[in-house]
């Protein structure tokens, strides 16, 4: 995604935020909304990555962890030409992952315990490479800010229920109901426009980082299947953060079925298989070798003993 398009979309979500302020409070509401938007932009840019990690109860993974996750991230970050990001684990059985941070020097990669348990090391390598691609493309900052704005717009739209009947805003009950419904929908559309573009770009770059598009293609299919049947309770409580994940974590309850923030997984898998030069657009891909692209998968330890999770 180019910076001009990103700036345009962020301007749109800021204008929406200010527009709601006008409908609720007239000229004074615009001023208040503008000040709030400016403050939120600054705060989100610097702090929302830590907020996101706290929302999902992520905890840091130390160097030398027995599963070798920290080492895998370090090796793939070196392949991507990136500084080492912080590594976090989210204790949830749903396989998923996301990246966050305002720039590559202040970035983090978070994976779920379900991801560690359900994916092979090849598939895990593809997922981490995808998240590192987001960091290298500087998608993480804009998506973190967008998540904060989407949540704020939904909250502000709900305020219309309490203030919509005031004579000076002139909305009336019909206008109030329309605002409550359309404002969050408009914010979701902005998220969707950003997310769809960034996911395809990160898939392609991630395949280059790990050296094999089929690893990521297989991982996406496995994560999609897990997300469709396993709840992610933290994501359900914070649906505005769903677009940060590699696969929509709200699939278990069919959220955003009409306006998904993620491209169709089947389309992403098909694009990756085409990139690999297999010509296979159906069924599950078996990790193979990309033409003229040597494997860059770092080694990661296997744990065959009984365990409650990868770090217990």
**What DSSP state is assigned to residue 303?**
-
Residue 299 placed within a domain: no
Query: What pLDDT is recorded for position 274?
Result: 94
Question: What predicted TM-score, i.e. pTM, was given to this entire model?
Answer: 0.74
110 pLDDT above the threshold of 80: yes
pLDDT digits (tens, 9 = 90+) for 150-195: 666 766 666 666 655 554 555 566 666 776 677 777 776 776 777 7
Q: Are 64 and 17 in contact (CB under 8 A)?
A: no
Residue 89 placed within a domain: yes
pLDDT band of residue 251 (cuts 50, 70, 90) is low
Query: What pLDDT is recorded for position 12?
Result: 73
Strand stretches in 105-168, DSSP E:
107-112
pLDDT band of residue 280 (cuts 50, 70, 90) is very low
Average pLDDT estimate for 34-44:
71
156-180 in b/e form (b: 16+ CB < 10 A) is bbeebeeebeeeebebeeeebebbb
Residue 137 placed within a domain: yes
Number of domains present in the structure of the chain: 1
Average pLDDT estimate for 276-298:
47
- CA 121/CA 137 separation, integer angstroms: 24
Query: What pLDDT is recorded for position 52?
Result: 86
Residue 133 placed within a domain: yes
Residue 307 placed within a domain: no
Of 211, 287, 1, 232, the closest CA to residue 98 belongs to 232
The whole domain housing 113 covers 3-276
Query: What pLDDT is recorded for position 181?
Result: 73
- CA 285/CA 278 separation, integer angstroms: 9
Rg (CA), the chain: 20
Q: Quote the distance between the C-alpha of residue 193 and its chain's center.
A: 13
Query: What pLDDT is recorded for position 43?
Result: 73
pLDDT band of residue 3 (cuts 50, 70, 90) is low
- CA 196/CA 261 separation, integer angstroms: 6
Q: Which is more confident, 309 or 234?
A: 234
- CA 208/CA 312 separation, integer angstroms: 33
303 pLDDT above the threshold of 90: no
Set 105, 122, 123, 131: catalytic member: 131
Which secondary-structure segment (H or E) carries 97? strand 97-101
Q: Which is more confident, 111 or 256?
A: 111
- CA 21/CA 11 separation, integer angstroms: 15
Residue 229 placed within a domain: yes
List of residues 6+ apart from 122 with CB closer than 8 A: 212, 215, 218, 287, 297
Residue 71 has, within 13 A of its CA and on its CB side, a CA count of 11
Average pLDDT estimate for 190-216:
87
Q: Which of 17-31, 194-208, 247-261 has the lowest mean pLDDT?
A: 247-261
- CA 144/CA 44 separation, integer angstroms: 7
pLDDT digits (tens, 9 = 90+) for 67-92: 899 999 999 999 999 999 999 999 99
Query: What pLDDT is recorded for position 59?
Result: 95
Average pLDDT estimate for 241-254:
77
For the ranges 36-50, 199-213, 285-299, the one whose mean pLDDT is highest: 199-213
Residue 295 placed within a domain: no
Annotated catalytic, 199?
Answer: no
Query: What pLDDT is recorded for position 36?
Result: 72
pLDDT band of residue 140 (cuts 50, 70, 90) is confident
Average pLDDT estimate for 90-109:
93
Residue 218 placed within a domain: yes
């Amino acid at each position: 995604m180019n910076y001009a398009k990103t700036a345009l979309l962020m301007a749109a979500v800021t204008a929406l935020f200010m527009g709601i302020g006008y409908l609720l409070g007239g000229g004074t509401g615009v001023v208040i909304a503008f000040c709030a938007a400016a403050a939120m932009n600054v705060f989100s840019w610097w702090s929302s990555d830590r907020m996101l990690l706290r929302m999902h109860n992520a905890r840091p993974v130390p160097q030398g962890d027995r599963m070798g996750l920290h080492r895998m991230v370090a090796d793939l970050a070196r392949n991507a030409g990136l500084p080492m990001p912080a590594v976090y684990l989210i204790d949830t059985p749903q396989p998923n992952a996301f990246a966050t941070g305002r720039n590559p020097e202040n970035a983090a990669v978070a994976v779920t315990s379900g991801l560690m348990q359900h994916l092979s090391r090849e598939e895990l390598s593809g997922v981490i490479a995808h998240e590192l691609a987001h960091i290298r493309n500087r998608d993480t900052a804009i998506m973190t800010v967008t998540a904060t704005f989407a949540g704020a717009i939904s909250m502000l739209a709900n305020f219309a229920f309490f203030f919509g009947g005031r004579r000076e805003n002139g909305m009336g009950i019909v206008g109030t109901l329309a605002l409550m419904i359309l404002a969050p929908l408009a914010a979701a559309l902005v998220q969707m426009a950003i997310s769809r573009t960034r996911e395809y770009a990160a898939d392609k770059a991630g395949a280059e980082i790990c050296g094999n598009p089929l690893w990521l293609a297989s991982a996406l299919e496995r994560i999609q299947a897990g997300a469709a049947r396993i709840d992610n309770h933290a994501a359900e409580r914070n649906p505005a953060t769903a677009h940060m994940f590699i696969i929509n974590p709200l699939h278990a309850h069919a959220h955003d079925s009409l306006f998904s923030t993620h491209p169709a997984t089947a389309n992403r898998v098909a694009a990756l298989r085409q990139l690999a030069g297999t010509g296979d657009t159906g069924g599950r891909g078996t990790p193979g070798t990309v033409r003229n692209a040597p494997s860059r998968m770092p080694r990661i330890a296997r744990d065959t003993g009984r365990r409650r999770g990868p770090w217990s």
